[in-house]
């Protein structure tokens, strides 16, 4: 779908649809002629349409101006108008336009020029309309039948010609973000026989080339012999698929304000290893590369964003499989920073891959490190599908990430890091063990215990901890019926891409 801006409401064909936003308690204003206003008012009364956020009503005019198909979309109370209103309304309206088999769509939301209470710019509104509409149309998968029809063009109408450049810039940024989210959703949703560690590296290499970024892909021999990544090796050694350690680097043209490392868990399939998962849990384990999807997709935006900070994405990519060479319960392995780990659960593999990923980020001298992973079921049990669990050793970093997430509707909830949790991973045989205290329903405080494990690997050789945040997307990264209903996000939503965009662009 091509998105553009115009100050002209031109005559359209019968294949066109016109979207008009309507606040609760407000009358149709100006856009429709008097005859169509009367028709719309009559249908609204018959259908009891009252302008609730995201509600839609469609009707045909029998005319070709402004379009034969009209879509009214509710915007709720005018005083409560915000960016999330635009997201919800855009998703609902584009879904309705698809149902009408419209090829060309035109839209002007009320508040054009001032956007509700005046706190939303035309740029922001256009960005949200473009990003949400494109993301709502994305569908992954491998079905053999081809999609019939589809929307060709989506035109945002702004009668004030002076605002067109601002709107066009918002459209450009919104489309770029949507493409990045689609990439993250594609990576996460691809089955393990398609998205192997090798294919993930190929995908990352393509992203790097398209954005003029440096990329280095380490094989296991290099990881072990040069860097001593024994934790990463322990997870990878059970699979016939060769593991890949992916590093993508962006540097601004001028001296960077800081160096930020994004570390993403890239387990392309997690069987649980010798601690085998049940079939019902294993069938969705292609999603265990959601952290990798988020950080690789974020790097696909570097040419568009051009932040004034250096960014390094690090993805330890592997499968976790059972075999005669797989890691065993009771094994002791040594990570890149020299810390020894006793393996008590082979299904707690993600933190082992992240251990070496974080230690590598420290070795690069990163000023801040953020890791993102589908790490623990306990995060989803505690917070459900709507919140990302955040754990951090730095208050300022935490506040920046939470703010960045709130701006784009990706909600966070901070969980504590405490000495009680650190006691849970003490081992008699090694520096630590890879799980805490198991119960019949999971591990006690599983999410924060995994974080206190990871914090052992963000300390430099002098014992100084790097400002660090751990994002557990085990709930928020999965398919969510509420996100599909609200924003049209079918399948994995590509969580954290938009948060990272806001975070990287707000480093003042």
Q: What is the CATH number of the domain that holds 487?
A: 3.40.630.10
pLDDT confidence tier of residue 139, bands split at 50, 70 and 90:
confident
By C-alpha distance, which of 313, 8, 294, 271 is closest to 160?
8
Tell me the residue range of the domain where 102 lies: 2-140+150-159
Confidence (pLDDT) at 44: 80
Which residues, listed in sequence order, are joined to residue 181 by a DSSP beta bridge? Answer: none
- Taking the C-alpha atoms of residue 508 and residue 502, their distance in angstroms, rounded to an integer, is 12
User: Does some domain include residue 377?
Assistant: yes
**H-only helix segments in 197-252:** 197-210, 220-225, 230-236
Q: When comparing pLDDT for 299 and 69, which is higher? A: 299
User: Does some domain include residue 45?
Assistant: yes
User: Which of 277, 334, 411, 422 is labelled catalytic?
Assistant: 277
Which of 220-224, 409-413, 437-441, 448-452 comes out lowest in average pLDDT? 437-441
By C-alpha distance, which of 469, 493, 226 is closest to 367?
469
What mean pLDDT is predicted for residues 43-48?
A: 79
**Are the CB atoms for 222 and 244 separated by under 8 Å?**
no
Confidence (pLDDT) at 149: 61
Same domain? For 323 and 233 the reply is yes
CATH of the domain at 103: 3.40.220.10
Same domain? For 131 and 226 the reply is no
**Are the CB atoms for 5 and 174 separated by under 8 Å?**
no
pLDDT confidence tier of residue 36, bands split at 50, 70 and 90:
low
Same domain? For 382 and 277 the reply is yes
Q: pLDDT (tens digit, 9 = 90+) per residue, 145-191?
A: 766 568 999 999 888 889 899 999 999 999 999 999 999 999 999 99
DSSP 371: E
By C-alpha distance, which of 277, 308, 251 is closest to 442?
277
Confidence (pLDDT) at 63: 61
The chain-wide mean pLDDT, for the chain, equals 92
Same domain? For 222 and 272 the reply is yes
Task: Indicate whether 115 pLDDT > 60.
Answer: no
* Known active-site residue 351: yes
Which of 69-73, 129-133, 298-302, 432-436 comes out lowest in average pLDDT? 69-73
Task: Indicate whether 474 pLDDT > 50.
Answer: yes
The full length of the chain comes to 508
By C-alpha distance, which of 393, 392, 401 is closest to 500?
401
Q: Compute CA distances 508 → 280, 309, 360, 477, 504, whole Å.
A: 46, 10, 26, 29, 10
Confidence (pLDDT) at 113: 44
Same domain? For 330 and 454 the reply is yes
Same domain? For 309 and 225 the reply is yes
Percent of the chain with pLDDT over 70: 92
User: Does some domain include residue 177?
Assistant: no
User: Does some domain include residue 285?
Assistant: yes
What mean pLDDT is predicted for residues 40-69?
A: 78
Q: Compute CA distances 44 → 34, 54, 78, 199, whole Å.
A: 15, 15, 18, 52
- Taking the C-alpha atoms of residue 355 and residue 230, their distance in angstroms, rounded to an integer, is 10
Same domain? For 254 and 393 the reply is yes
User: Does some domain include residue 252?
Assistant: yes
Phi-psi region of 321 (alpha: psi -120 to 50; beta: other; left: phi over 0): beta
Number of domains present in the structure of the chain: 2
Question: 């392309």: which residue's tokens?
Answer: 268
DSSP 320: E
Task: Indicate whether 128 pLDDT > 50.
Answer: yes
**Are the CB atoms for 244 and 267 separated by under 8 Å?**
no
User: Which of 286, 351, 400, 433 is labelled catalytic?
Assistant: 351
Q: Compute CA distances 124 → 21, 163, 421, whole Å.
A: 17, 12, 42
Task: Indicate whether 109 pLDDT > 50.
Answer: yes
9 alpha-carbon distance from chain centroid? 35
Confidence (pLDDT) at 60: 81
Which residues, listed in sequence order, are joined to residue 318 by a DSSP beta bridge? Answer: 267
Task: Indicate whether 136 pLDDT > 90.
Answer: yes
Same domain? For 355 and 239 the reply is yes
Task: Indicate whether 204 pLDDT > 70.
Answer: yes
pLDDT confidence tier of residue 352, bands split at 50, 70 and 90:
very high
What mean pLDDT is predicted for residues 353-379?
A: 97
Question: 């043209």: which residue's tokens?
Answer: 253
Which of 58-67, 183-192, 479-488 comes out lowest in average pLDDT? 58-67
User: Does some domain include residue 264?
Assistant: yes
Confidence (pLDDT) at 31: 52
Task: Indicate whether 78 pLDDT > 90.
Answer: no
User: Does some domain include residue 475?
Assistant: yes
Q: pLDDT (tens digit, 9 = 90+) per residue, 328-345?
A: 999 999 999 999 999 999
Same domain? For 96 and 239 the reply is no
Same domain? For 155 and 253 the reply is no
Is the pTM value of this prediction over 0.75? yes
Same domain? For 467 and 346 the reply is yes
Same domain? For 307 and 219 the reply is yes
Helix, strand or coil, per DSSP, at residue 469 = strand
**Are the CB atoms for 471 and 404 separated by under 8 Å?**
no
Which of 45-49, 90-94, 115-119, 280-284 comes out lowest in average pLDDT? 115-119
pLDDT confidence tier of residue 47, bands split at 50, 70 and 90:
confident
What mean pLDDT is predicted for residues 372-396?
A: 96
User: Does some domain include residue 169?
Assistant: no
**Are the CB atoms for 273 and 346 separated by under 8 Å?**
yes
What mean pLDDT is predicted for residues 446-474?
A: 97
């Amino acid at each position: 779908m091509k998105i553009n801006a115009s100050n002209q409401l031109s005559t359209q064909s019968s294949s066109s649809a016109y979207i008009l936003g309507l606040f609760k308690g407000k009358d149709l204003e100006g856009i429709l002629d008097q005859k169509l206003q009367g028709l719309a008012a009559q249908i609204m009364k018959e259908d009891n349409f009252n302008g609730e956020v995201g509600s839609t009503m469609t009707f045909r005019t029998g005319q070709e101006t402004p379009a034969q198909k009209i879509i009214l979309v509710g915007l709720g109370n005018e005083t409560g108008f915000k960016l999330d209103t635009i997201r919800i309304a855009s998703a609902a309206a584009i879904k309705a336009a698809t149902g009408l088999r419209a090829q060309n769509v035109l839209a002007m939301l009320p508040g054009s020029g001032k956007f509700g209470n005046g706190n939303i710019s035309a740029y922001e509104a256009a960005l949200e309309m473009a990003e949400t509409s494109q993301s709502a149309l994305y569908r992954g998968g491998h079905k053999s039948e081809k999609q019939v029809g589809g929307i060709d063009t989506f035109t945002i109408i702004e009668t004030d010609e002076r605002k067109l450049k601002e709107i066009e810039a918002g459209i450009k940024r919104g489309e770029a973000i949507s493409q990045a989210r689609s990439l993250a959703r594609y990576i996460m949703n691809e089955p393990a026989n398609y998205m192997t560690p090798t294919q993930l590296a190929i995908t990352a290499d393509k992203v790097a080339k398209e954005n003029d970024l440096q990329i280095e892909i380490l094989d296991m021999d290099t990881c072990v012999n040069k860097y001593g990544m024994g934790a990463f090796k322990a997870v990878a050694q059970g699979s016939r698929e060769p593991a890949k350690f992916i590093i993508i680097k962006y540097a601004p043209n001028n001296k960077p304000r800081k160096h930020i490392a994004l570390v993403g868990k890239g387990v392309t399939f997690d069987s649980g290893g010798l601690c085998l998962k049940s079939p019902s849990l294993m069938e969705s384990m292609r999603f265990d590369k959601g952290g990798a999807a988020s950080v690789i997709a974020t790097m696909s935006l570097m040419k568009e964003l051009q932040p004034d900070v250096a960014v390094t994405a690090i993805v330890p990519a592997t499968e976790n499989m059972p075999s005669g060479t797989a890691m065993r319960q009771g094994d002791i392995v040594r990570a890149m920073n020299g810390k020894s780990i006793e393996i008590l659960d082979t299904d707690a593999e993600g933190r082992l891959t992240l251990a070496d990923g974080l230690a590598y980020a420290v070795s690069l001298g990163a000023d801040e490190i953020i890791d993102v992973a589908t790490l623990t079921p306990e995060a989803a049990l505690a917070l459900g599908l709507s919140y990302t669990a955040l754990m951090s050793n730095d208050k300022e970093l935490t506040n920046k990430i939470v703010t960045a997430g709130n701006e784009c509707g990706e909600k966070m909830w901070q969980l504590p890091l405490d000495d009680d949790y650190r006691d849970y991973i003490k081992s008699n045989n090694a520096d630590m063990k890879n799980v805490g205290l198991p119960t019949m329903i999971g591990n006690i405080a599983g999410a924060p215990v995994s974080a206190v494990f990871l914090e052992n690997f963000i300390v430099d050789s002098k014992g100084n901890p790097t400002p660090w945040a751990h994002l557990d997307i085990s709930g928020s990264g999965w398919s969510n019926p509420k996100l599909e209903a609200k924003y049209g996000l079918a399948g994995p939503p590509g969580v954290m891409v938009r948060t990272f965009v806001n975070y990287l662009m707000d480093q003042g």
